[in-house]
């Protein structure tokens, strides 16, 4: 199963959600891959504990190969994604890191219509039970590539009025990608993040979304300083504070989307 975590608004917790769901998947014994398509590289640093260097093999190298033709007219991207996969310190959890080179590559990839290359490469990639794709906070070439490559889309929502207005535009964008490029894509659910259940506004916003029939997931994620601490420690919450309330909330979220 390939899941993309996507929102066009920044600061809604995409990387945190991506890495923590992937960490739980790996702890369940599933060989799990994270793909970091966000130029900021937050998922990369979260799971590897560092930014990547110029010499590292990253998702940018894969896309560069997509643009390279060999002498016989073939495409060097036949090497696929397997050569840019890195082990993390956590059993069963792997990552394809991001890199700043994604930015200058984007216009060339768009002009040569390489939008399906990630999907094609993932369909050929063997040995993984679950794939989680972190995306930039904008509908650009990379987020569209992820939506085309994925089966399921998870949408983080951080309980404010601006996020609510952006949500309708975002869901329309996903619907258009589904209609034009990926009939198999489904919006799996809206993840309510930074949810303060004692505050009136968050509860009101969530109730209104549910009343409108939007696919709000029951498991919600509370705000906690432990998130930032886990970022600094480069350890997903289930490793950093396995018995904390927040880790339990992520487990509940994982179980909900997996129907268990």
Q: What is the mean pLDDT of each run of 10 residues along the chain (260 residues)?
A: 90 92 98 97 94 81 83 48 95 96 95 95 96 95 97 90 80 94 95 85 88 94 95 97 97 92
**List of E strands, the chain:** 2-5, 32-36, 86-87, 93-96, 130-134, 152-157, 186-192
Topology (CATH) of 2-257: Rossmann fold (3.40.50)
Overall size of the chain counted in residues: 260
**pTM for the model:** 0.93
pLDDT digits (tens, 9 = 90+) for 191-239: 999 888 777 888 888 999 999 999 999 999 999 999 999 999 999 999 9
Domain boundaries, the chain: 2-257
**Residue 228 host element (H or E):** helix 225-233
């Amino acid at each position: 199963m390939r899941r993309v975590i996507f929102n066009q608004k920044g600061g809604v917790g995409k990387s945190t959600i991506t890495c923590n769901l992937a960490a739980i998947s790996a702890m369940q014994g599933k060989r799990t891959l994270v793909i970091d398509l966000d130029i900021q590289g937050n998922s990369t640093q979260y799971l590897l504990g560092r930014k990547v260097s110029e010499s590292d093999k990253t998702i940018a190298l894969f896309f560069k190969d997509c643009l390279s033709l060999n002498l016989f007219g073939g495409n060097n991207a036949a090497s696929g994604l397997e050569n840019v996969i890195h082990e993390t310190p956590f059993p069963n959890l792997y990552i394809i890191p991001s890199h700043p080179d994604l930015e200058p590559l984007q216009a060339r990839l768009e002009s040569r219509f390489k939008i399906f290359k990630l999907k094609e490469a993932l369909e050929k990639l063997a040995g993984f039970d679950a794939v989680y794709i972190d995306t930039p906070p904008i509908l650009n070439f990379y987020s569209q590539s992820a939506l085309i490559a994925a089966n399921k889309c998870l949408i983080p929502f951080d309980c404010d009025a601006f996020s609510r207005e952006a949500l309708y535009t975002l869901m329309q964008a996903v619907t258009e990608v589904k209609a034009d490029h990926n009939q198999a894509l489904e919006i799996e659910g809206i993840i309510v993040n930074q949810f303060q259940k004692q505050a009136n506004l968050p509860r009101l916003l969530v109730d209104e979304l549910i009343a409108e029939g939007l696919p709000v997931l029951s498991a919600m994620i509370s705000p906690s300083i432990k998130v930032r601490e886990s970022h600094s420690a480069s350890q997903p919450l289930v490793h950093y504070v396995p018995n904390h309330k927040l880790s339990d909330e992520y487990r509940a979220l994982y179980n909900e989307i997996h129907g268990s």
